[in-house]
Amino acid sequence: MKRFVVLVSGRGSNFKAILDEIQKGNIQGEIVAVISDNHHAKALDIARDAGIEAIFGNAKSEEYPQWLLGTVQSYEPDYVLLAGYMRIVPPEFVSAFPQRIINIHPALLPSFPGLHGQRQALEYGVKISGCTVHYVDEGMDTGKIIAQRAVPVLEGDTEETLSARILKEEHQLYPAVVKMLAEQE
Ligand code: GRF
C-alpha cells in the first residue's frame, strides 16, 4: 500500500477528492499525514475528521525548511502530494524525493504557471484552459507533465466561474493520477 503525505495551505478540496476515492476503496493507498503552512486551513479539519494526522508548520520560522523535510521524511512517504500548497518547495526537499513530489495546477502548463492561473488564462483570452498534474522540480510549475484535462473558457466567464469549471476537472484528474501512482511498482 503506497503512503502519501499531502501538503496544503487552504480549502483542501483536492485533498478531499483524493481521500474520498481512498475511502471508497478505489485507490489502494493511505494518506499518512496532512501538513499545512496555514493554521486555519480547512484541509486540516478535513484531515482531523478523517483521523489523519494534521500538522501545522510555521513557515515564518527559520527552521521551517529543515522541519518540513524532517517531518515529511519521518512518515516515509512513497509520494508527496501538493494540493493547494502555496509555497515553492526548496531544492533540498525536491532532491530528497526525486520524481516523488506531485502538484496540481489550474491551467494547461506550460501556459500560465504561478499564481492565478485561471485569471491569467482569462486575461490572455485563451479559449481553452484546464488543469495539469505534474512532477515538481526546482522551478515554478515546470516539472514534467503527468496528465491534463482541457476545460473551455466560455463567453462571459469570470475568474470565479472559470475556476469552478476547472476545479471540477481537478477533482477527477488528481485522484486518477494518484490511483495510477498507487498501482505502480
Ligand atoms: C487548486 O485550484 C489547485 O489547482 C491549486 O490551488 C487550488 C487548491 O484548491 N494549486 P484546494 O485547496 O484543493 O481546494
Active-site position among 39, 40, 105, 134: 105
- Taking only the tens place, the pLDDT of each residue in 77-114 is 999 999 999 999 999 999 999 999 999 999 999 999 99
Terminal CA-CA length for the chain: 10
% of the chain exceeding 90 in pLDDT: 99
- Tell me what pLDDT residue 185 has: 80
Residue 38 has a CB neighbour count (10 Å cut-off) of: 17
Residue 152 has a CB neighbour count (10 Å cut-off) of: 13
Span from the CA of 148 to the centroid of ligand 1 (angstroms): 15
- Taking only the tens place, the pLDDT of each residue in 30-77 is 999 999 999 999 999 999 999 999 999 999 999 999 999 999 999 999
Angle at Cα 14 formed by Cα 11 and Cα 20, nearest 5°?
110
As for ligand 1, residues whose beta carbon falls within 6 Å of it are: 10-14, 83-84, 104-106, 167, 170
Q: Is 72 strand, coil or helix? A: helix
Span from the CA of 14 to the centroid of ligand 1 (angstroms): 6
- Grid cell in block for residue 30: 493511505
